[in-house]
Structure formats: structure tokens, C-alpha cells
Amino acid sequence: MKKQLILISIFLMCNMLANILVAQKLVVKANEPVAEIQPTMWGLFFEDINFAADGGIYAELVKNRSFEFYKPLMGWEVTPGGNYEGSVLVLNREEMLSSNPRYARVTVVDNDKPVTMKNSGFRGMGVKQGLQYNFSIWARQEAGSSIKLNIELQNSANENIGKAILIPVSDEWTKYEVSFTSSKTDSKASLVLTFEGKGILDVDMISLFPADTWKNRPGGLRADLVQMLYDMKPGFLRFPGGCIVEGHDLSVRYQWKKTVGNVEEREMIVNRWNNEFSHRLTPDYYQTFGLGFYEYFLLSRDLGAEPLPIINCGMACQFNTGELVPMDQLEPYIQDALDLIEFANGSIDTKWGKLRAEMGSPESFNMKFIGVGNEQWGPQYIERYIEFEKAIKAKYPEIIIVSGSGPFPDGEDFEFGMKALKELNAEIIDEHYYRPPQWFFDNATRYDSYDRHGPKIFAGEYAAQSVAIASPNNRNSWLTALSEAAFMTGLERNAEVVHLTSYAPLFAHVEGWQWTPDLIWFDNLRVYGTPNYYVQKLFANHRGSHVVPILLNGQAITGQEGLYATAVIDKSTNEVILKIVNNSESARKTSVQINGMKGILPNAKKIVLKADDLNAENSLDNPGNIYPAESQLKLKGNLVSADLDPMSLTIIVIKHK
């Protein structure tokens, strides 16, 4: 018995060695497409978590600009402080304007005793030398008052690096605007307003934006962060989450109607990630909705991505309160979904289509998908989903509905939800998996057995967790990225079933995060892509139009000796594209034979993403530590030899006539 075991071990080792030294032959059947790849295959999941929107992509530099935080002067340093003569009071006009009730009343008693208000933004304000900054304020000067406003940008050493003067003249609420240029670059600047003169000035919506926003839109988005998304060529943009859709309780659920129209009338609410994790409390995290549903649709259009809004289905987060709307009171929630479709697609003669046009887009956003609920589970979800589906399909049969299978990729709740949704002939089901890297390697075959005639799959949230789910110690290491790449070959091989996929969460501010790992990290001036980002980008940039078989010894390549591979053809660019993960510690010699494709050109492109250390990461200071490296490959007829580096992802792009 012992002898037998030794012999088997020797045989296996020889086999392995032979595989390493002798080129392994992979065969691509380029003329046998097995599935069409949806344009939505690789997309984006956006949620305002980790300062993704406020403090992140939404380029507003002033924090708590309208005094609506729980503590109205949070983020502001007022001198002289307290409710002293010559200072700042917070007033509430709820009866007149319930969406933006508070404003600040500044009283200056004497020319010699100016009042100052300083705002240090979201962990400081990132400003750039030579760039224009656009300041705006809503103000009302009490009759008989003569207050002048000095606006000053200060760097972290409290030096003046830009200034302007404003004299509000009207005793009615009026918006005033002025611009100035920063003379220095600083990631921790602040805005200092000095009120001089005498009298009373009411102020609200104090705002500062850089001029270099994405497409130079006033009040727009941070261009460097949007560029990272644009470069991925995403197929869709899912928004606004995530648990943020559900809210801790229903009172703070995401209500899209409160996020459209004039910015100063969008009712701000607490961000549900403000106090979710006791180890990462963020008391100054609120949602201003400056990035609201109109802006999300616009962003989708800019990115060339299908908009995929997710709507609350009458359930609050089941990890928190799990509040439910009684079934007989679900109607307003369903109406919100119907109105949203009208807002996105309706003619400008409809109520909501008209608002879209007034906001700047008479053209429809051509929305095709809607998600009902985020991460809900149990019979309560199914009964609510049925009502949404009925109403949406009755009015908009062309809209594709995305349903959810809950937070976990297996277990009782998952099985229950999947079974129920299949019985209902659900069109697309959203699955989430936040799992260890090994799970991703092991699950490269997850969808091989899914019913080709059942609901399609949206892998809507996934990320390998290096320590534990949502552990603050999780890292965006090369191991996590490599495991996701291996898993993604399984998604791609099963493109017949898997129609949409997205990594989550998307963004994180290095000083303002609650959840890690995340795809893209940034500070107030810089941004970097994690290795996971480059994996996503490489897959999305090489999507192809059809999956074709790639085989090793006649079998799909799903982890044999650490190899995972898929192949696609692109009918519009005349390409055969291979994606190969080598998850072993040894280099691999492979020779790939492309069958069934005539006119193959002799030069191919090879892109390798790798790191010697599985714990390696990128960072703000070393953003290119793990970065795709491009080189040329020569083909001999239909044969290409490719050496696969240890622990690497290799993309090979072969052209044909």
C-alpha cells in the first residue's frame, strides 16, 4: 500500500514537472461560438459608501454646506464661538422649506469685530495651483445692514492662497457667485469666510467647486475619479447601491424623487454608513444628493454604460431594523418605480419626463433595466417583488427587472429565494459574494451547472475578502485580485447565463472609508487603481462578442494545476482574445492552437498583470506597483507560444483578417 502511494506520488510529480518543462497545448475552437457576450457583461456598482459620493466623486469641497447635519455647525469653526453677540445662530424655517430648513444667521456688531466661519471640507480640501474655484452662497442681507464677505482659501499652513470679495445686496434670498484662483496646491486646504461691517446676514448653501470637473460641468464630478470609470469601458452603472437603497430604517431609505430638481431643495439625510460599523464611525457622513438620480443617469450616458437603478421595495436593511411596509401600503413604493421609468424614458410631456428635460436632458436616458430591492431575503421579499413585477410589466413590458437573492451565495435563504424567483420566471437574479480568495478559485465552475433556460444572473456585488467579510483588515492584495480573475473566467465561460457583473464597493477615500476592500482608492487630490481594478479593466476592455471553447486535454480549463482560461472572439474587431490565469508558483510554457480561424495575423499582443508577492498592493505613493505590462508575441501559423508567469493573469489578443 505504502509502495503504491509512493509510486502514485512520483507519477504525479513527474507529470507536473513535465507540464512545467514541456509546453502544454491549449486548443481554441474559434469557429464554435457557444454564447453571445452581453454588452453589460462587465459593469460598475456605485454606492455612496467610503465617501464615494459626498467627499469623493461629487466635487463639492464644503462639508455641511446647508447646516443640515445632526449637529448644524459640524464642519464649521466659528469665531467668536458660542451664541455670543457678534456670532452665528442656526435658524429653522421648516414650515416654509422642509427640504432645507436650516440656515445660519451671522450678526456682526461692529466693524472691528468681524465674524469668521472656517470649513475644512472632507478631511481637508484638495486644491490645485492655477486652478479656478467657483464659490457660491445663498444670502439675505437684513435691511439697514452692511456686511461684506471676504472669501479666502487657506493652505494647511493657514496662508492665503486665493481670495474674493462679495457684497450681498438684497434683503431677499439670492444666490451669489464669485470665482478665484488658487496660488498653491494643497490637499488639506480650507475655506475661510470673514464677515465684516455691521448688521445681520443670513446664509445658506455655502459651496466651493473646482472648475475642472468632469466635462467642466458646474457643480459636477471629480474628473480624475470619473476618468478611472471611463477607462474601464463599463457595460452598465448600477446605482445608488447597495444597502443605501434600503436604509437603516425606512425613514432613511433612498428616495430618488428627493434627489432631483434644484440642488438647494434636495432633502439631505444621514448616510447609512455613518454609524454602521463601530470600528469605523463616520459621524460627519451625510448624503446631500448633489449626486442624485439625474446625475447618475448622466454619468451612465457619459460612460457609455446602461443605467441600472435599484429601487427600495418596501423593506429596510434586514441586517438593521428590517422594517417592512405593510402589503396594503406598498403602492407609493411601486409608484416610485413607475415614475422613475417615466423620469428616465418618458416624453417631455409627461410629469417626470418634463422634469428630466428641465434639468437638461430632453432626450430619454433609454433605461432598460430596473432593480427591485437590494439584498433582501425571505418570503417578505418575494411577496413584495411579485407586486412590483406585476405593476412594472403591466405598464412597461420592455423593462427588464432585476431581482435579488440576498446577501449570501448559498444557504437556506439563498436557496429559498432562487427557487421562488425561478418559479416566477424572474428575468435576472442578482447574486452577492463577499468570500475568501479560495472561494473564488473554487467557484470558477459555479455557473457551469446553471440552467441555460432559467433566469439570467447578475453577479452584482463581489470581492475577495482577505481576512473576513467587511473586516477593516482586508487588503486589496494581489492574491485577492488573482482569485477574482480566476473566478471571472468562469463568469465569462458562462456568458450564456451570466449577463451582468460588478465588483463592490467601487470607491474609498483613504481617510474616510468604512468598508474594505474597494476597487479604487483616493485622497483629496490623487487616485489609484487596485490590482483588482486592473483585473476588472482588462476583462472589460477585452470583452469580445462571443465565447468560444478553450481546452486543455479536451476539457474546459477551470483550475487544472492552477490554470484557468477562457477565450472569446470579437466579431467587430476581428480578434481572438485569451484570458489565462496561472495560479501556480511555477512558470508555465503553453502553446495555444487557434482552430477554425482563417487569416490569422503573425503579430499578437500580450498583456500580463502579476506580482511576485501575493500580498503586494498598489497605493497612492506607488500606484503602478501592479500594473498591466504589454508586449508582442509572434505566431507561427495558427500557433502561439506563451510563457505564463507564476501567479499571473495573461491576456493575449490575436488579430485575423
Interacting residues toward ligand AHR by CB under 6 A: 47, 49, 241-243, 374-375, 407, 461, 504-505, 515
Q: How near is the Cβ of 242 to ligand AHR at its closest, in Å?
A: 3
Q: How near is the Cβ of 277 to ligand AHR at its closest, in Å?
A: 11
Main-chain phi, psi angles of 12, to 5 degrees: -65, -40
- Give me the long-range contacts of 76-83 (CB less than 8 A, separation at least 24): 76/117, 76/118, 76/119, 77/116, 77/117, 77/118, 77/119, 77/120, 78/115, 78/116, 78/117, 78/118, 79/115, 79/116, 79/118, 80/113, 80/115
Q: How near is the Cβ of 615 to ligand AHR at its closest, in Å?
A: 23
- Helices (DSSP H) in 396-516: which residue ranges? 412-423, 437-442, 478-493
Residue 431: how many other CB atoms lie within 10 Å:
24
Residue (461 or 575) nearer to ligand AHR, CB: 461
- Report how far residue 268's alpha carbon sits from residue 274's, in angstroms, rounded to the nearest whole number: 13
Matching residue, cell 468604512 = 514
Main-chain phi, psi angles of 456, to 5 degrees: -80, 160
Residue (114 or 460) nearer to ligand AHR, CB: 460
What distance lies between CA 286 and its chain's CA centroid?
Answer: 17
Q: How near is the Cβ of 614 to ligand AHR at its closest, in Å?
A: 24
Question: Nearest to ligand AHR by Cβ — which residue?
Answer: 242
Catalytic residue among 246, 375, 484, 617: 375
Q: How near is the Cβ of 343 to ligand AHR at its closest, in Å?
A: 23
Q: How near is the Cβ of 546 to ligand AHR at its closest, in Å?
A: 31
Nearest to 63 by CA among 77, 76, 49: 76
- Report how far residue 290's alpha carbon sits from residue 227's, in angstroms, rounded to the nearest whole number: 19
Retrieve residue 545's grid coordinates.
462578442
- Report how far residue 12's alpha carbon sits from residue 4's, in angstroms, rounded to the nearest whole number: 12
Q: How near is the Cβ of 46 to ligand AHR at its closest, in Å?
A: 10
Cα separation of the two ends of the chain:
58
- Report how far residue 266's alpha carbon sits from residue 258's, in angstroms, rounded to the nearest whole number: 6
Q: Are 379 and 325 in contact (CB under 8 A)?
A: no
Q: How near is the Cβ of 375 to ligand AHR at its closest, in Å?
A: 4
Q: Are 481 and 613 in contact (CB under 8 A)?
A: no
User: For residue 647, how many C-alpha atoms fall within 13 Å in the half-sphere facing its CB?
Assistant: 15
Residue (124 or 242) nearer to ligand AHR, CB: 242
Q: How near is the Cβ of 418 to ligand AHR at its closest, in Å?
A: 17
- Report how far residue 492's alpha carbon sits from residue 567's, in angstroms, rounded to the nearest whole number: 9
Helix or strand run (H / E) with residue 12: helix 2-21
Helix or strand run (H / E) with residue 112: none
- Report how far residue 138's alpha carbon sits from residue 9's, in angstroms, rounded to the nearest whole number: 78
Residue (103 or 515) nearer to ligand AHR, CB: 515
Whether residue 585 lies in the annotated active site: no
Residue (209 or 239) nearer to ligand AHR, CB: 239
| Angle, alpha carbons 159-165-166 (nearest 5°) | 140
- Report how far residue 322's alpha carbon sits from residue 226's, in angstroms, rounded to the nearest whole number: 34
Residue (221 or 310) nearer to ligand AHR, CB: 310
Name the residues annotated as catalytic.
Answer: 375
